[in-house]
């Protein structure tokens, strides 16, 4: 049985975003292509992760492939990401992805249902199984045969791989965010966020 998650919020971040006055030439080059928030602000996740420039340089193309160039429909991708954020207690991840999720058609009612899990009312059968997949990967680090078989009826081999890698990627990001205490950026909120993942036997 999984243990309860500690609060994702730290009294103060363990690692602060790297201040602009400390950016060297390489840091400026790496951050030049980072997505910016309204007003030109670079999100805290990037200005914190760039403290490890070699890792940042390799991480960004991988994360971008899954987020912007993946094979999964946007709605399904964001359902998986938000459920993963909820399962891992990653408030930053949840808050940053709410606008992306809503842009794909995910409603406030869907967001409420995500905190309840796969048995909540309103899901299609496919969505129910995808949310269950996120929970199984969180709790057991693998998909059950039953879940795999259902998903295999709807997705190609490449898409099945992407489902697993997407959830794994956002687990890794959650570990980084929760451990370092990255603070949610101005203009974003964590409406509907509920810390702590589901209980798995």
Averaged pLDDT, 9-16? 82
Query: What is the per-residue DSSP string for 27-59?
Result: HHHHHHTS---TTSPPPHHHHHHTTSHHHHHHH
Confidence label for 194 from pLDDT (cuts 50, 70 and 90): confident
Domains and CATH numbers, the chain: 25-69 (no CATH), 72-182 (1.20.1290.10)
Asked if the model's pLDDT at residue 173 lies above 50, the reply is: yes
Task: Return the higher-pLDDT residue of 34 and 195.
Answer: 34
Whole-model pTM: value is 0.92
CB 138 within 8 A of CB 197: yes
Asked if the model's pLDDT at residue 11 lies above 90, the reply is: no
């Amino acid at each position: 049985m999984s243990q309860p998650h500690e609060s994702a919020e730290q009294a103060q971040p363990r690692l602060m975003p790297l201040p602009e006055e400390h950016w060297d030439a390489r840091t400026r080059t790496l951050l030049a292509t980072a997505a910016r928030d309204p007003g030109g602000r670079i999100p805290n996740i990037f200005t914190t992760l760039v403290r490890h420039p070699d890792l940042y340089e390799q991480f960004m193309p991988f994360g971008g492939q899954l987020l912007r160039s993946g094979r999964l429909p946007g709605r399904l991708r964001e359902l998986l990401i938000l459920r993963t954020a909820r399962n891992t207690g990653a408030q930053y991840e949840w808050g940053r992805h709410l606008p992306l999720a809503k842009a794909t058609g995910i409603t406030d009612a869907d967001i409420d249902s995500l905190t309840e899990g796969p048995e909540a009312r309103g899901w299609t059968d496919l969505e129910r199984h995808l949310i269950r997949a996120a929970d199984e990967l969180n709790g057991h680090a693998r998909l059950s045969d039953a879940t795999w078989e259902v998903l295999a009826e709807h997705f190609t081999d490449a898409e099945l791989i992407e489902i697993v890698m997407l959830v794994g990627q956002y687990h890794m990001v959650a570990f980084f965010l929760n451990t370092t205490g990255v603070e949610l950026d101005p203009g974003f909120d964590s409406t509907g966020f509920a810390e702590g993942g589901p209980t798995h036997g």
